[in-house]
Structure 1
Amino acid sequence: MNKLALTVSRGIGRITEAALGPRQTAVIRIGFSATWLLFLLREYPHRQELYGPDGPWSFDLGRRLTQENGAFTALMWFRGQFWFETVYALAVLASLLLLLGWRTRTMSVLFMLGVFSLQNRSVFVGDGGDNVLHLMSLYLVFTRCGRVWSLDARRAERGRAARARGERVPPDRVGPVLWGVLGAVLAGVTVAGRMQGEWLVPALLWAAWAAQALWWLVARRARSAEPRILLDVIANVLHNTALLVIMTEACLIYATAGWYKIQGSRWQDGTAVYYPLHLDYFSPWPGLADLLSSSGTIMVVVTYGTVIVQVAFPFTLFNRRVKNVLLVAMMTEHAVIAVVLGLPFFSLAMIAADAVFLPTSFLHRLGDRAARARGRLLSRGGHREPEEPLSSGDSEPAHVGFPA
């Protein structure tokens, strides 16, 4: 009984004392923001047809749809080309800043709003990866995804170094300004009655805005360390819970896909992969598709292998070596799908979701190599910076003010 109590106590301590998987969370942040950013840039010439007010799915149809399903989209706040271009540009900007890790807590919320606003405007646009991105953009809001490999971590490292030298660190001014501007916009939209959709997104926006203010007040005004410790505990619990949800979501995607495939006759006889290779929509390289489908053995192996990997993966999480092997197999499979079937953004979204299971030792080595490569490039350019400023460990950004 004492051993059980000790185990439970250690588990609770581990969940509350630290944000687990900081590098995995950073990879997820980079992966999903890069996927959405690249999609928006590639579809920029076609944005009117996809999400524009004068596209095939008109503004009035979009309003009727969102009123019926209760989905949130900022594109329904105002009619007109200017507002559409503004939302699209802000979605691109939020994706870029989240990718770089600048004010990651704020940018994760704006990133989610960009994803929701565009995807919910025209629900018939997508290839499957949009569903994954939709869910993960919501989960990212609850994670502390800027603790490593971000501009926030770099700023925190510089602040710690300055304090270690006895220098004064100037207070954060960007955070309060950003908080004030976004709060004014949020209040104006709410008072004007433009905040359509179900209660979840508006409540989340107000909660995030209030949490930023509370964090700032505690950091600046609290006379003891207990309030900050309490906020850290709450943030760690939310982060670790969201990380668990992301891992569970990835497992559910593969498990359900695999079990549904087992029930299909084409997957049972080993010919399922053959047919999409000969659809014009999924054949950007007809010669390559013909070469792969010319061998019946390859088709059977790929078909059965896909089902086996997807069904087995959730059960391999208890064995690290087997899990890593299947993880490489799944990422390779998605890379092949991106090239052969012409679904790059679906594959990027799935690879980003798979990245949550990457080994910490591998990510450590990857970060060290990236830091060394960056150091060599800077030294060749005659510019020197502190060692590894973008991967400064697992600590919270230390500037006094609004959290990143």
Structure 2
Amino acid sequence: MNQPNASRRLLPALPEPRQVPALLIGWLTRSKHATFSLSFLRIIYGGIILAFLATNVADRHYLWGVASQWVEPEAKRRGWIGLFQIAFPKDDAALFDLSYAILAILALLFLIGWQTRFVTPLLLVFWVGLATNSTVLTNGGDTIMRITLLFLVVADLSQHWSVDAWLRRRGARQVRPLWRGVIAETVKNTASNAAVVLCAYQIMLVYVNSAIYKLSGVEWRDGTAFYYSLVLDVFRPFPALSDLAWQWDVGVFVATFLSVWVQLLFPLLVLWRPTRIAALIVILGMHLGIGLFLGLWPFSLAMIALDLLFVRDSSWRRMLAWGLSAVKALVGAVRPLFTDRRPAPKPAATTSGVGAAAGVAATAAVAQPDSGR
């Protein structure tokens, strides 16, 4: 008798077909979703751009500026509008440096979450403008960032861990008329949730196309592709670690198999919570491996940030609460090791000199009755 109830609890409850449109509209308009994930994505994207600019600041003119004529005429066939060429010209080093500095400042403001609704579109323009000056300096991460930043222009990226959130908590907001507030909130919710949907669709598109392309190669079908990825000289930041990894035959086969089939079935796996958790664990592990073994950290971090859009706010709150409790427990366990366990010094039994005389005089004054009354 309990088996149907158990299966009913295990499987998700599917709505009736006539309820689906109302549920979708309600999901889009009633509240913002993935607010923690969007805030985490903002921090990761800002950090990636800042790190990218900082590590290439010495070679910026050779890579994108006045000394980058080596990439022409390929870059001229990019088909971008002239606005991007004005932002990062190849014939004016001073203006190029100014735009480079502005891009770094925008990335910093984006990372800390200050006025993200205005900073995000400006960051998109300058980030795309820099990328269009060279068509060969790509690793996949900058491409996916440019695509998704276009969607994130209308997203609420500063709900958590941001200067905007801090300012909202400190300042008192004016109460708007009810109808105006409801309309504005509905539009903001719809725009932010639409950005989440578009980013999720982009992730699924990348994974499914990547899996289909992989299946066209015999190495991915027979389970040896992971080995060939580890022995490529251009993608070996830690050769000793790569050589250690490919020695485990079972690990090579399992990693190759999972990277193909989890990507191919990802749109279906995210529909049910247990399979979604398993798929995210495998995908996150895959991207960590790409960053560690292949050195493609901008791509890996960008994909990890986008993958976490499938994590609900309630799950974020539980993870943060668990992390906070774990930190408190660790601090409580470690604190006795650093506290001073020596007993406090006892007060001296006797005193001498002026201190003794003052003590005796004070005692006598207290003990002597007041005879002047």
Quick check: 1:27 aligned with 2:40?
yes
Cα distance in 1, alignment partners of residues 48 and 19 from structure 2: 43
Instruction: Note closer, same or farther for the CA distance 1:362–1:46 as it changes in structure 2 (3 Å cut).
Output: farther
Instruction: Note closer, same or farther for the CA distance 1:265–1:6 as it changes in structure 2 (3 Å cut).
Output: closer
Residue equivalent to 1:50? 63
Cα distance in 2, alignment partners of residues 141 and 133 from structure 1: 12
Instruction: Note closer, same or farther for the CA distance 1:294–1:57 as it changes in structure 2 (3 Å cut).
Output: same
Residue equivalent to 2:307? 354
Contact 1:72 1:120 in 2 (8 A): no
Quick check: 1:105 aligned with 2:124?
no
Instruction: Write out aligned runs for 1:186-225 (5 A).
Output: 224-225=177-178
Instruction: Write out aligned runs for 1:324-335 (5 A).
Output: 324-335=277-288
Residue equivalent to 1:190? none
Residue equivalent to 2:139? 127
CA shift, 1:371, in A, is: 7.9
Cα distance in 2, alignment partners of residues 268 and 9 from structure 1: 43
1:297 aligns to what SS in structure 2? helix
Cα distance in 2, alignment partners of residues 283 and 56 from structure 1: 30
2:230 aligns to what SS in structure 1? helix
Contact 2:141 2:303 in 1 (8 A): yes
- Please report the TM-score for the alignment, with normalisation by the length of structure 2: 0.75
Residue equivalent to 2:194? 241
Cα distance in 2, alignment partners of residues 45 and 77 from structure 1: 18
Residue equivalent to 1:382? none
Quick check: 1:118 aligned with 2:71?
no
Residue equivalent to 1:289? 242
Runs of 4+ in 1 over 6 A off after TM superposition: 3-6, 369-374
CA shift, 1:234, in A, is: 2.1
Of the two, which has the highest radius of gyration?
2
Contact 1:115 1:137 in 2 (8 A): no
1:273 aligns to what SS in structure 2? helix
Contact 2:112 2:162 in 1 (8 A): yes
Contact 1:29 1:140 in 2 (8 A): no
Contact 2:262 2:283 in 1 (8 A): yes
Quick check: 1:153 aligned with 2:106?
no
* Residue correspondences, number: 312
CA shift, 1:97, in A, is: 0.9
**In the TM superposition, what whole-angstrom CA distance separates every residue of 1:329-368 from its partner, at most 9, and x where no partner exists?**
2112211211111111111111111111123233114545
Instruction: Write out aligned runs for 1:1-400 (5 A).
Output: 8-57=21-70, 61=73, 64-66=76-78, 68-70=79-81, 73=84, 74-76=86-88, 79-160=91-172, 224-368=177-321
Cα distance in 2, alignment partners of residues 325 and 318 from structure 1: 12
Contact 1:52 1:81 in 2 (8 A): yes
Instruction: Note closer, same or farther for the CA distance 1:236–1:275 as it changes in structure 2 (3 Å cut).
Output: same
Instruction: Note closer, same or farther for the CA distance 1:264–1:256 as it changes in structure 2 (3 Å cut).
Output: same
Single out whichever of 15-24 and 79-88 deviates more from structure 2.
15-24
CA shift, 1:226, in A, is: 2.8
Contact 1:27 1:352 in 2 (8 A): yes
Contact 1:272 1:303 in 2 (8 A): yes
**In the TM superposition, what whole-angstrom CA distance separates every residue of 1:29-73 from its partner, at most 9, and x where no partner exists?**
222222222222222222222212212446x7477334x454752
**In the TM superposition, what whole-angstrom CA distance separates every residue of 1:93-116 from its partner, at most 9, and x where no partner exists?**
111111111011111112212221
Instruction: Note closer, same or farther for the CA distance 1:112–1:301 as it changes in structure 2 (3 Å cut).
Output: same
Cα distance in 2, alignment partners of residues 130 and 26 from structure 1: 19
Cα distance in 1, alignment partners of residues 91 and 74 from structure 2: 11
Cα distance in 1, alignment partners of residues 180 and 285 from structure 2: 46
RMSD over aligned CA atoms reads: 2.8
Q: Which is bigger in relative contact order (C-alpha 8 A, separation at least 6)?
A: 1
Cα distance in 2, alignment partners of residues 364 and 18 from structure 1: 16
**In the TM superposition, what whole-angstrom CA distance separates every residue of 1:156-188 from its partner, at most 9, and x where no partner exists?**
11114xx7xxxxx9xxxxxxxxxxxxxxxxxxx
Unaligned residue ranges in structure 1 (runs of 5+):
164-168, 170-218, 378-404
The one-letter code matched in structure 1 to 2:44 is: G
The one-letter code matched in structure 2 to 1:64 is: K
1:45 aligns to what SS in structure 2? coil
Contact 2:64 2:90 in 1 (8 A): no
CA shift, 1:19, in A, is: 2.1
- Please report the TM-score for the alignment, with normalisation by the length of structure 1: 0.70
2:227 aligns to what SS in structure 1? coil
Instruction: Note closer, same or farther for the CA distance 1:366–1:51 as it changes in structure 2 (3 Å cut).
Output: farther
1:275 aligns to what SS in structure 2? helix
Contact 1:75 1:121 in 2 (8 A): no
Cα distance in 1, alignment partners of residues 196 and 106 from structure 2: 22
**In the TM superposition, what whole-angstrom CA distance separates every residue of 1:86-141 from its partner, at most 9, and x where no partner exists?**
11111111111111110111111122122211111112111111111111111110
